[in-house]
């Protein structure tokens, strides 16, 4: 296994184990077994379990942000753009259950979080900031915007994953509109 492959195997193993067992029940020894590497190799790439988890968070948030931007069309009016972005985020979350479970656990866990932003996530923040500065959005902290939008998409996807929620396209559009109403002036 090449160097980059080992690092990715460690991140993938961590994702799978945390999605299934949670942070507290995912020791480094289990990550090493799942990744088919020695525990010492993990420490070659990461300083410890928190470092692995933060790196995984940045990776998953980058993938999610990139997926959201696939629906971004700057020529569309903002009112039409937002539902497309929201539905894109929801669909990523539905099709990536382990990543969604991991994000939910990470973002709702107490303690230090990694607030570093990947390029794609930074672009989303800049887009929201631009709209807010133009008076199109309520004057709320950017993290609140994400909770009222992406946070809802994650929660709805978790409902789909656990079988307690089914949503058709019309309902998704209605939820996206409600999220927009929560943040728009």
Q: What are the tens digits of pLDDT across the range 129-160?
A: 778 888 888 988 878 888 899 899 999 999 99
Q: Structure pTM?
A: 0.85
CATH class for the domain made up of 56-183: mainly alpha
CATH superfamily of 1-46: Homeodomain-like (1.10.10.60)
Q: Where are the domains of the chain?
A: 1-46, 56-183
Q: What are the tens digits of pLDDT across the range 84-122?
A: 889 999 999 999 999 999 998 888 887 766 666 666 667
154 Cβ contact list (under 8 Å, min separation 6): 93, 100, 103, 104
Nearest CA among 13, 22, 8 for reference residue 104: 22
How far, in Å, CA of 56 to CA of 50, rounded? 10
């Amino acid at each position: 296994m090449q160097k980059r492959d080992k690092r990715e195997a460690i991140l993938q193993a961590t994702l799978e184990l945390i999605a299934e067992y949670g942070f507290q029940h995912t020791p480094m020894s289990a990550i090493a077994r799942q990744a088919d590497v020695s525990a010492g190799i993990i420490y070659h790439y990461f300083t410890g379990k928190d470092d692995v988890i933060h790196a995984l968070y940045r990776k998953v948030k980058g993938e999610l942000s990139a997926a959201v931007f696939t629906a971004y069309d700057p020529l569309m009016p903002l009112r039409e753009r937002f539902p497309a972005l929201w539905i894109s985020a929801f669909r990523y979350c539905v099709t990536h259950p382990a990543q969604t479970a991991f994000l939910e656990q990470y973002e709702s866990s107490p303690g230090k979080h990694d607030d570093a932003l990947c390029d794609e996530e930074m672009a989303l923040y800049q887009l929201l900031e631009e709209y807010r500065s133009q008076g199109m959005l309520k004057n709320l902290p950017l993290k609140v915007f994400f909770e009222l939008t992406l946070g809802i998409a994650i929660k709805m996807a978790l409902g789909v994953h656990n079988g307690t929620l089914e949503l058709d396209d019309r309902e998704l559009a209605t939820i996206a509109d409600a999220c927009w109403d929560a943040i728009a002036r």
